[in-house]
A and B are shown apart, each in its own frame.
Chain A
Amino acid sequence: MANVRWGRLGMHAVLALGALVVILPVVWIAFAAFKTQIALLRGDLVFTPYLGNFEELLFSKASDYPANFLSSAWVASVSTAMVLLIATLAAYSMYRLRWPSWVPALVLMGSLVFHMIPPITLVGPWYVMFRSIGWDSTYTALVLTHVALNLPIGIAVMSVFVRDIPIEIEESARLDGSSTPQMLWHIVFPLVRPGLAATGILVFVFSWNEFAVALNLTSRQTATVPVAIAKFAQEYEIKNGVMAAGALLSIIPAVLLLLFAQRHIVKGLTAGTGK
């Protein structure tokens, strides 16, 4: 039994170490955001909090960061709403509307393969396509690509939840004469609300974080937060504090969702990979 106790202690030690490795970099960047350039360069552990980095990021004329933040919020919200709608309809269609079995099989297989493709291989043709119709550097183009990138995970997660709707509820609604749109509105969407939450959170975060497409499909006016942070790293090589402040602000949505919606996130991530 002593053995078991030591084993337990060892496991906790390893896990605590792992947790530290995960948390410390984030804490360090948070500290860096509140340091003056000098304090950062000296590597001070004790320092007086300094808000200059945030002032420069948010209020200086040269900074586009507030606009970038709004761009990100807009693109992530609209693309998430579209993914939720399209994915739920598709999942319902595939599992409840009696397609021949190869149809859902083909859609799911296509989804999975598409999900594995590196986005950068598609950015090229997307760019040429959108620029040819005059949509380059528009929100519309970026939103559409984010819908495409996140639809596979949306369909995968929503399928799990749609299949859980008791078939009896649907049958009795059909007998009462409900049409498909009524069924969707009154039964399907309300019953898959936990699925919508799980999918919505993930898709929002993934869209918020997306970089490779946003880098090439946006202009200064439509750039999102990751593009802005990458710019800090390159153009203002010395403004490390400002970059840290930008990075810190950009992870607020993810951290809030992690603290308040952890259960949904776990459900979405594990359902999305076919468990």
Chain B
Amino acid sequence: MRGTADRASAKAADRWRFYTLAPALAVYLLLALLPIVNLATMSVHDIHWQQGAARWTLVGMKHYAELPRDVLVRAGLANTALFALIAVTAEMLIGFALALFVSRIAVGRVLYRTIFLLPILLPGIVIGAIWKLMYNPDFGVINQLLHLLGLPGFDWLGSGSLAFLSVIIVDVWHWTPFVFLLLLAGLETLPQDIHEAAMLDGASAWQELRDVTIPMMVPILVMTLAFRLIVSFKVFDEVYLLTGGGPGTATEVLSFTIYRRFFTEDRMGYGSAISVIALFLLTLVIVLFMGMARRRMHAH
């Protein structure tokens, strides 16, 4: 009797093991994997809507052949790479300094952390709206401050390289707090006594930072850097609101190119081809970082 009951309950356990994981698997299969496969299929078709149904015409590699000549794609690729590099470098430097300072002060830690959390929780669109008003050349607060100091104002979003810089500043405002938070969490896990011992040994704050804190933080720094670099490919909301990719192609990033080609111009096949290339490049970057991470682990 007991044997059958055990077997029955083992069977029930097996069933539940599957039932509990199945919803998550279904979401990933239907809303992540299937769309990615569809993306590849769409990229070799021309797609048009007729009475609510999509009509697909096979065009082979036509879209891919067109990509290298597309001005927006070229600008989007170059700008996305440059954007990621500059913005993330700034975020890492400022974020690490702020995290270090907050970890070293006695009073005000929670207050600063609360304040610095704010940008992470704001909608990207609202951040765009705020900065669009602040950048306004006529009544924006930034030019007002400059005028107060007797300096000339700028057309922050209106001219090429300055617009690019302005968008980067907004991204730094948005994401430095996230870097700060991760690095602060990392700093708080470091053994406190090593830091104190170094200080007692008469090491200057700078020596201690260079020889003790930073070496111990390297894994967390690298992880945060990799994560931010990869996720910075997502930038879309702020660009949409602030510049729409302009002036010209000065702030065109790849996400925005995809949106423009796919939705604004209704070229679904071609937009999919750009997406496929974007995912391919992203995969390259991810594999590269994972390879580096693995080598580091072996080295230790």
Contact = CB atoms under 8 A, between A and B. Distances in A.
Q: Do A and B belong to a common assembly? A: yes
Contacts of A259: 114
Interface stretch (A39-47, A59-67, A192-200): A39-47
Nearest to A216: B263
A270 B112 contact: no
Contacts of B189: 275
B125 to A, nearest CB: 4
Contacts of A165: none
B124 A209 contact: yes
B112 A244 contact: no
B38 A116 contact: no
A250 B118 contact: no
Nearest to A31: B141
A258 interface: yes
Given A22-B173, A144-B27, A226-B126, 16 more contacts: A12-B108, A14-B97, A41-B139, A89-B23, A90-B21, A113-B286, A116-B233, A118-B233, A123-B263, A131-B49, A180-B12, A209-B126, A211-B123, A233-B129, A240-B133, A265-B121
A25 B173 contact: yes
Interface of B: 9, 12-13, 16-17, 19-21, 23-25, 27-28, 31-32, 34-36, 38-39, 42, 47, 49, 52-54, 94, 97-98, 101-102, 104-105, 108, 110, 112-126, 128-134, 136, 138-139, 141, 144, 173, 177-178, 181-182, 185-186, 189, 205, 220, 223, 227, 230-231, 233-234, 236-237, 240-241, 254-255, 258-259, 262-263, 268, 271-272, 275, 278-279, 282, 286
A28 B143 CA distance: 14
Nearest to B129: A247
Interface size class on chain A is 35 or more
A27 B140 CA distance: 14
Contacts of A7: 205
A97 to B, nearest CB: 4
A10 B230 CA distance: 33
Contacts of A111: 28
B255 A145 contact: no
A92 interface: yes
Interface of A: 7-8, 11-12, 14-15, 18-19, 21-23, 25-26, 28-29, 32, 40-43, 85-87, 89-90, 92-94, 97-99, 103, 107, 110-111, 113-114, 116-129, 131-132, 134, 144-145, 147-148, 151, 155, 179-181, 184, 205, 208-209, 211-212, 215-216, 225-226, 229-230, 232-233, 240, 243-244, 246-247, 250-251, 254-255, 257-259, 262, 265-266, 269-270, 273-275
Nearest to B49: A131
Chain A's interface: helix, strand, loop or mixed, by majority? helix
B17 A99 contact: yes
B126 A87 contact: no
Nearest to A125: B35
18 contacts: A14-B101, A15-B112, A22-B116, A118-B233, A120-B234, A121-B255, A124-B258, A124-B268, A125-B35, A125-B39, A127-B263, A131-B52, A151-B24, A179-B12, A212-B236, A230-B241, A233-B128, A258-B114
B122 A89 contact: no
B186 A26 contact: no
B32 to A, nearest CB: 5
A32 B133 contact: yes
Given A7-B205, A42-B139, A151-B27, A15 B123 contact: no
Contact of B54 (A131, A243, A244, A275): A131
Nearest to A134: B52
Contacts of A19: 112, 115-116
A247 B121 contact: no
Contacts of A43: 139, 141, 144
Given A122-B32, A208-B123, A11 B101 contact: yes
Contacts of A122: 31-32, 35-36, 39
A-B pairs with lowest CB-CB distance, top 3: A180-B16, A125-B35, A209-B123
B52 A119 contact: no
A8 B268 CA distance: 57
A97 B19 CA distance: 11
A124 B286 contact: no
A13 B94 CA distance: 14
A56 to B, nearest CB: 16
Given A116-B230, A274-B223, A97 B17 contact: yes
Nearest to B114: A262
B121 A25 contact: no
B286 A116 contact: yes
B52 to A, nearest CB: 7
Contacts of B52: 131, 134
A78 to B, nearest CB: 14
